[in-house]
Amino acid sequence: MKLSLDWMNDFAPLKEVGLDAILKKIAISVCEIDGADPFRPELDFVKIVKIESLEKHPSADKLQIAQVTNGSAKSQIVTGATNVKVGDLVPLAIPGAKLGDKEILESELRGVKSSGMLCSEKELSLAEESSGVWILNDVEGAEIGKSIRALLHYDDIIFDVDNKSITHRPDLWNHFGFARELASQLKLPVQFNPFESLWNFDLNIPLPKVLENQNAHSYYASSIQGVSILPSKRKFRARLQKCGIRVINNVVDISNYVMLEMGQPTHFFDKKFLETQGGISLEVSFAKKGESFALLDESSPALEEEILLIRNQGKPVAIAGVMGGKESAVQNGSTEIVMESAVFARERVRKSIRLTGIRSDSSVRYEKGLEATTTLPVIRRALNLLKENGCTELKASEPVGFLHTPHKEVHIHTDIHFINTKLGVELSKGDVTDILERLHFGVSWKGEHLEVLVPKFRHNYDVTIPEDLVEEIGRTRGYDTIQVAPVLAEVKTPIRNLGRELERKLKTFFSGSLSFHEVYNYSFQSLKENTVDGDPKLSVKIKNEMPEEQAVLRNSLLPSLLKNVRTNQDRFSEIKLFEFGRTYFNLPEPNNEKKFLAYAVAFERKNSESDLKLLEEDFLNVRKQIESLLESIRLFDYSWEIKQESFYHPAASLSLVVDSRQVGVLGYVHPAVLDSFELKKRVIYGSFDFSAIVEIWNANRKISRFVPPSQFPEAEIDLSILIGEKENTNRFTELVKEEKIPELKDGWVYSQFSGGNVPEGKRSVSYRFKLVNYEKTFTQERIKEISDQLVTLAGKNGFALR
């Protein structure tokens, strides 16, 4: 947001303080400033001069030699302009001036000295096009020797305020509000308050009709006669231009001017157009789905039912707080208008902004939450400004409308001890009173107890609790005045948080040992995504209206991880992601929230990949990594069991079971789910119920399973058998474990094969068994004995050897 120091000086004598003091106080006590720069300083080097004589250039037919004066000195200028004559007042860029990329220098043109350049409006960046040198003879305020910057009222400092730092302060989104704040902080008087403007309304002018309802906090309209559509006067044009607002005409410009001055948007309707609709009967109501009308920006968006409109005789003429309609706008021939001054609920305006995609200067202010009692004072101020800006015969009817909360007051109760404890200082009651009264708060003491009446321009959302008063006192006094002191606190041993401890361990193992990348996702997702892994009827809908794709709290981490894979599938050949996150359910506590550790892996395997060997190898590789993770947290006694899940491929999903309790899942995501997320690769997804894992880890961590390494060489036995195509490879390893072979340390699948000479419906699975002896070196006889035992076990259970 841009603010003019010259404009703010109308309300408080800020220029008496000095720019450095103002900027320092703003930075310490008010908000962040991105810049404070002179406006168009290059125009100081463009002076108004009078042409005293003109003669042809001796060596160029299209050039003239002009003798000009600025009142104190004369200059000779060579110009190619054909629209100048003796006696004209024109702008002269003197040597040293910089106009855009061009620097004006003393020069010679065809042997004749030229000390500057006569300028057009285009060359001064004041117009898109111009037909010659700017003739200033009839321009108000044009005087010989005056700079163009002074003529245009551009002699000013423009503050560029960081909008993010004042989102909670709608009272600062205007020149008067900001000047009032600075006056309070710098102990200056407020010398003019536009909200106290007076106007004599004409009781003979017919009143517009306004239908009262609860769709606006306040809404007033006034019929205005005697309007003349003209260019705005120089002061108004300059102030709007300095704030980046496009100049249109003297009526529309005043609407923008009042908004920048007082922070309250207004709107003018063409009265004759409203009358052609059957009379003037204004109402704030909601749009009908698909309804559309032309707006000022030439767009005609299809409207949703939650968008708030202004209607006349039931027909839409504006989107409330956002933008007016094109047909009902003030025209060049308008002589009668209707002025609207209203305050709408900020939530309604925010919805309109989101649903239409339109962010106007008005809506930016409305969405912060404005004070409803400003609507009538704004009308009076606007009428005074319209009269000053060319509508000298202006007459206006008594405003008609409603205000729902005219007597709203916010009182805050606290005490001096609370304030001093929060700030860490010792302030007296007099210190507190001085600061709060400067900030326009009403102060009442009863002993140590303090009662504060919040000013209306701060009481809606900004200052509502005692802590807000502490902030007001602290920032005004200056946080830099608070002495730094060591914190005195009892040092206690922190309570051990097992969940956080295990979370760190798992994150470290996933990222460090397994080379996974951690991701963070929002807890919001669409209702459709909540059907992927869970019951959508248990979805928790977000009360604050959100886009459809973020309408509910997620009940699974699967959709989020699939979207992460989709984002990266064209960038990396191998994707390994994990996330710690919560899921939410519309159930009584404690079942309404669960925490999961989920992970997703995608190799260079397309959805159409039909090589089962490759897919099985990928799956076994991931499973082995997860098993190493379980081993790292001392979880040894578990089993993988086949279990169908709707989001998994029917032939590729496992359940991780500990003590007959499911604590995790692992499998290939169902192709239909992959298609719905536009995924091109096969994805392996798994998750752990974190609370169950914490419980098991807590029980196991106290049990020592340490076994010193054997000093004798290890041995391995490989065994290949035929099993069914859909049979679980774990079955044979579980049978081997049940044999309780003393030297058996571990066993796993290291290779699978189907096709070739392997019978149809079968696959060849190769197992590797690791043997460790802690007492002596293995002999060939003992290895053969164990190998024979494994072969016998396989045959006894119907497995054929390969």
Question: Which regions of 21-142 does DSSP assign to beta strands (E)?
Answer: 33-38, 46-57, 60-69, 74-79, 89-93, 98-99, 102-103, 107-109, 112-114, 117-118
28 burial (CB, 10 Å; 0-12 / 13-18 / 19+) is: middle
Q: Is 138 annotated as a binding residue?
A: no
Q: Is 16 annotated as a binding residue?
A: no
Which helix (H) or strand (E) segment holds residue 94: the answer is none
Contact 316, 291 (CB under 8 A): yes
Contact 471, 417 (CB under 8 A): no
Q: Residue written as tokens 């102990």? A: 187
Q: Which of 466, 475, 481, 467 is nearest to 435 (CA)?
A: 475
Structure token digits, residue 696: 């098991």
Rounded Cα distance between 663 and 656, Å, is 6
Q: Residue written as tokens 């880890």? A: 697
Look up residue 639 and give its amino acid.
S
Structure token digits, residue 341: 């001054």
Q: What's CA 155's distance to the chain center, in Å?
A: 35
| C-beta neighbour count of 730 within 10 angstroms | 16
Q: Is 143 annotated as a binding residue?
A: no
Which helix (H) or strand (E) segment holds residue 641: the answer is strand 639-642
Rounded Cα distance between 600 and 581, Å, is 14
Instruction: Give SS3 for 663.
Output: strand
Q: Is 101 annotated as a binding residue?
A: no
Instruction: Give SS3 for 291.
Output: coil
Rounded Cα distance between 502 and 494, Å, is 16
Task: Encode 302-338 in three state secondary structure.
Answer: CCCCCCEEEEECCEEEEECCCEEECCCCCCCCCCCEE
Rounded Cα distance between 73 and 49, Å, is 10
Rounded Cα distance between 325 and 305, Å, is 18
| C-beta neighbour count of 790 within 10 angstroms | 22
Binding residues, as ranges, are 462, 468, 471-472
Binding residues for Mg(2+), as ranges, are 462, 468, 471-472
